[in-house]
Structure 1
Amino acid sequence: MINQLLHFDQEVFFFVNKALGNAFFDWLMPILRNKYTWIPLYIFIIAFSVGKYKLKGFYLILFLSATVGLADFTSAKLLKPTFERVRPCNDETIKDQVNARVGCGAGKSFPSTHATDHFAIAMFLIGIFRRIWKHIIAIGILWAGLISFAQVYVGVHYPIDVTVGALYGSLIGFLLAKIYKRYFQLEPNVEQID
């Protein structure tokens, strides 16, 4: 059963990494997965939260930082060393077939820390703002999903890596949002964000 799952995982990986290959994705996907691409978004989230919600917004940013810190640390420092799955671009049995569109790096593959971190961010923000901004669910999942897809496309992760990372990060984001809301509920009658 495990071997069948890993074989399927590899087939889906090659479909994304090779069969879906095109010049536009070759340009876009490395940008989407680059941590520096999203710095303006993070600055906006900080400015918006603190500017609109003052002290509650400051605590929101602290909780969001704790969410990312917990997701990142446990994924990179606890789970990856435990499972020690080799990245597809470093796997001696297939690396010659992989379209490595970015540097592979020496890190392990399972779970994807990119997927874990970005789904943790998305799910935290969804948990906080879903009642006052109806589009955040679709936008948050699409944003984190595209970053996760990019990890497979560029050749550094298998689909199972990003799927488990997405689920794990979502759990962390959901739980930290619940804790935040227990102590720092935003105003219930705040106008909806368009």
Structure 2
Amino acid sequence: MEDIIQIDKKLLVFLNNLGSEQWDSLWLTITNQLNWIPLFLLIFFLIIKSYGWKRGGFMILAMVVLVGVSDQFTNLVKNTVQRLRPNNDPQIYQLLRNLIDPQSYSFMSGHATTSTFFTIFAILLLKEKYKYPYFLLLFPAFFSYSRLYLGVHFPIDIIVGILIGVIFGNLYFRLYQKLDRVSFN
């Protein structure tokens, strides 16, 4: 396990040091959840357009609950594992380009988990109505990578977050389908 952790740290240092000042403001913008509001509004619009206000509203409510569940689950894991963030890791922090300085724990990435969870659920809701919903996967890809660029998560934090997001997105969709059948059929 120690070998994996060392590889994880070396990979982060490598990826983080690929950054440059000319791109820093872009990645700081990408990592900020509020800057993605237009994408969320587009998704909500497409859901309402496809399913109407009543059923679409139920879907949007399910998405709001999803974000809350994902956030709480991620915080539970972070507080249980208590892995230091790279920017606080005495072994590597001086090797990183640090642009922000969060103090919470690192494992697993809430950005990766929640954005993937949300996106998978949105894709599953929209794939029958729209031709290219998989383009939405660009959101968690860029959002997650921003955390490596900024040096605040290790690659394993991101990979596990994405995997958990995919699993939870699919499971949540199955649960949603059961509730939808009861409510709208």
**Which residue is equivalent to 1:55?**
54
Q: Could you give the per-residue CA deviations for residues 60-89 of structure 1, whole angstroms, max 9, x where no partner exists?
A: 00111111111111001x100110000000
Runs of 4+ displaced beyond 4 Å? none
What is the aligned counterpart of 2:142 among 146, 149, 154? 146
TM-score by length of 1: 0.86
Residues 1:111 and 2:108 are matched in the alignment: yes
C-alpha deviation, 1:154, in angstroms: 0.4
| Cα distance change on mapping 1:129 and 1:50 into 2, 3 Å | closer
Q: Which runs of 5+ in 1 are unaligned?
A: 186-194
CA distance in 1, matches of 2:105, 2:94: 18
Q: Could you give the per-residue CA deviations for residues 19-38 of structure 1, whole angstroms, max 9, x where no partner exists?
A: x2134432211111101101
TM-score by length of 2: 0.90
**Which residue is equivalent to 1:124?**
121
**Which residue is equivalent to 2:19?**
21
Matched residues, number: 180
**Which residue is equivalent to 2:173?**
177
- Structure 1 or 2: more helix by fraction: 2
CA distance in 2, matches of 1:143, 1:181: 24
- Cα RMSD for the two superposed structures: 1.6
Q: Which runs of 5+ in 2 are unaligned?
A: none
CA distance in 2, matches of 1:127, 1:69: 19
Q: How does 1:159-178 map to 2 (within 5 A)?
A: 159-178=155-174
- Kept after mapping to 2: 8 A contact 1:119/1:170: yes
Amino acid in structure 1 at the alignment position of 2:66: T
